[in-house]
């Protein structure tokens, strides 16, 4: 199946050789934002309450060193939810997840399967930056978990893409190495929402040879998503 020009362009931006063409699925436009999701005044109010709670949160030590909380960004009616680990230095400064070089690569990864950044919702396991980009601690993840759960309940995505080891292991409550979690369909908690695991773009910037696997993960996620429509 041949790629179209746009897909080829975004794969090149991801840094993936076009020899992967033989593996590609066609990128047909699919609805990625649910216009029919029921948005009520209650839903809007629930988002507002949640946003304010997170902005003022002091439930773990990370509130002491943050510049600001990083709540999440994107379309609240998105069918795709992208979940990363925690804000880094740039995210902490800008108040938005996945900015900087890793954010640009994530955008290219999404575009390679026909998704625009503003059509998905992007959030993290933690809303505050761990100092020196260390891994989140279990007590921090546990303190922050309910915020993400409430975001998921409000968005009701068709699919969750868990980006990176920390996101995948915490979402799926496992210690399985990320390399063994790829290529499979999981479900998030008791919701039945499918989860697909892929590498973090920051890791892919350090290990560009793994981009091919990330591309395969994205195609798997798109296939599962299409089945959900
Ligand atoms: S990381 Fe989460 S639980 Fe900890 S202070 Fe920030 S918002 Fe609160």
What does the pLDDT look like over 60-86, one tens digit per residue? 999 999 999 999 999 999 999 999 999
- Percent residues over pLDDT 90 in the chain: 81
Residue 203 structural domain: 38-228
Quote the number of domains for the chain: 1
pLDDT at 7: 66
Three-class DSSP category at 192: coil
Residue 23 within any structural domain of the chain = no
Residue 186 and residue 197 in contact, taking contact as beta carbons nearer than 8 Å: yes
Domain harbouring 134, CATH code: 3.40.470.10
Residue 85 within any structural domain of the chain = yes
Residue 7 within any structural domain of the chain = no
Residue 19 within any structural domain of the chain = no
Residue 24 within any structural domain of the chain = no
Please give the biggest Cα pair distance in the chain: 52
Residue 6 within any structural domain of the chain = no
pLDDT digits (tens, 9 = 90+) for 170-223: 999 999 999 999 999 999 999 999 999 999 999 999 999 999 999 999 999 999
- The Å distance, Cα 92 to ligand 1 centre, comes to 13
* Number of the ligand 1 atom closest to the C-alpha atom of 54: 7
Closest C-alpha residue for ligand 1 atom 6? 128
Strands (E), the chain: 73-74, 80-84, 121-124, 159-163, 186-188, 193-198
Residue 132 within any structural domain of the chain = yes
Residue 161 within any structural domain of the chain = yes
């Amino acid at each position: 199946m041949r790629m179209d020009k746009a897909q080829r362009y975004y794969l090149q931006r991801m840094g993936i050789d076009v020899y992967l063409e033989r593996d590609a699925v066609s990128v047909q436009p699919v609805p990625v934002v649910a216009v029919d999701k029921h948005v009520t005044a209650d839903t809007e109010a629930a988002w507002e309450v949640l946003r304010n709670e997170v902005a003022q949160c002091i439930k773990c030590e990370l509130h002491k060193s943050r510049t600001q909380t990083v709540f999440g960004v994107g379309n609240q009616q998105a069918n795709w939810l992208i979940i990363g680990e925690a804000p880094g230095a740039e995210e902490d400064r800008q108040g938005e997840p996945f900015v900087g070089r890793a954010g640009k690569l994530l955008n290219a990864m999404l575009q390679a399967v026909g998704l625009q950044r503003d059509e998905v919702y992007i959030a993290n396991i933690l809303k505050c930056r761990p100092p020196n980009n260390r891994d989140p601690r279990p007590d921090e993840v546990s303190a922050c978990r309910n915020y993400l759960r409430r975001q998921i309940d409000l968005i009701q995505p068709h699919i969750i893409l868990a980006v990176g080891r920390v996101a995948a292991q915490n979402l799926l409550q496992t210690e399985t190495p990320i390399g063994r979690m790829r290529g499979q369909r999981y479900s998030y908690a008791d919701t039945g929402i499918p989860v697909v695991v892929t590498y973090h773009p920051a890791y892919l910037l350090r290990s560009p040879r793994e981009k091919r696997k990330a591309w395969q993960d994205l195609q798997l996620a798109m296939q599962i998503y299409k089945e959900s429509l």
